[in-house]
Amino acid sequence: MAKNFNKNIIKYLGFLLLVPSLILNLFIFQKYQGEREKNMVLVTDVLDGDTFVTSDGEKMRLLNVNAPELELCGGEEAKKRLEELIKNEKVSIERVSTDVYERSLVMLYTGGELVNRTLIAEGWGVYGARKIPESEEFKKLQKKAKEEKLGIFGPECYQKENLDNPKCNIKGNINRNTKTKFYHFPGCTAYVPAIIEKFNGDQWFCSEKEAQKAGFVKSEGCFGKKYNL
């Protein structure tokens, strides 16, 4: 009998431990759902390919869409495309969170179309890493945009070879997360797979000296090797 009593106590304690977890999960779910409630706003200005201003002066940024800076390859084109979609339009937004600049990060709809999805599908932005219900879909759309060489993934902004000046074949890459700058030349371990993403600030160089002057350092896969034209 004592044995059965102990079993019942263990079951009861397990239930008590489970209840707070269920309540917490419900709270998080409701909070997330609340954060994604839709509101109508009027877009009065577009600053670049992923940021816009509403009629009350609030700056908002599209969640999980990283468009090029205006001065980089594809930057102006990405801005123009976003203007075509939302400028001077009343749109529906879902506020998900804020960024370090206190801008609302939003999912934006116009005419029933999710603009975040459209820009990723057309290749005018790089998919961001934040986990959302649309994450897997966005990843697939970006993969397809790359395969079809759309937007910033076209040959002007996304290159493995310097077709304009083949002699200048040193690849200067910028890590998107750490902003570290490093370069590779033919013979370096990562040279062949390295891609020049001009929309991310990557560059071609004609000499190591030129790369170093621009703030790039030799990649680890290049040590012990010499660059020869």
Q: Please state the separation of Cα 11 from the chain's center in Å.
A: 46
- Confidence (pTM): 0.80
What pLDDT, in 10s, does the model give residues 91-125? Answer: 999 999 999 999 999 999 999 999 999 999 999 99
Do residues 48 and 75 make contact, with C-beta atoms less than 8 angstroms apart? yes
Tens place of pLDDT per residue across the chain (229 aa): 555 545 555 555 455 555 454 444 444 444 444 445 689 999 999 999 999 999 999 999 999 999 999 999 999 999 999 999 999 999 999 999 999 999 999 999 999 999 999 999 999 999 998 899 999 999 999 999 999 999 999 999 999 999 899 999 999 999 988 999 999 999 999 999 999 999 999 999 999 999 999 999 999 999 888 887 6
Token pair, residue 208, equals 């190591």
CATH code of the domain occupying 38-153: 2.40.50.90
DSSP secondary structure letters along 81-127: HHHHHHTT-EEEEEEEEE-TT-PEEEEEEETTEEHHHHHHHTTSSEE
Q: Residue 119 and residue 140: Cα distance in Å, rounded?
A: 13
Residue ranges matching CATH 2.40.50.90 in the chain: 38-153
Is residue 63 a contact partner of residue 107, using CB atoms and an 8 Å limit? yes
Question: Rounded to whole angstroms, how far apart are CA atoms 24 and 161?
Answer: 52
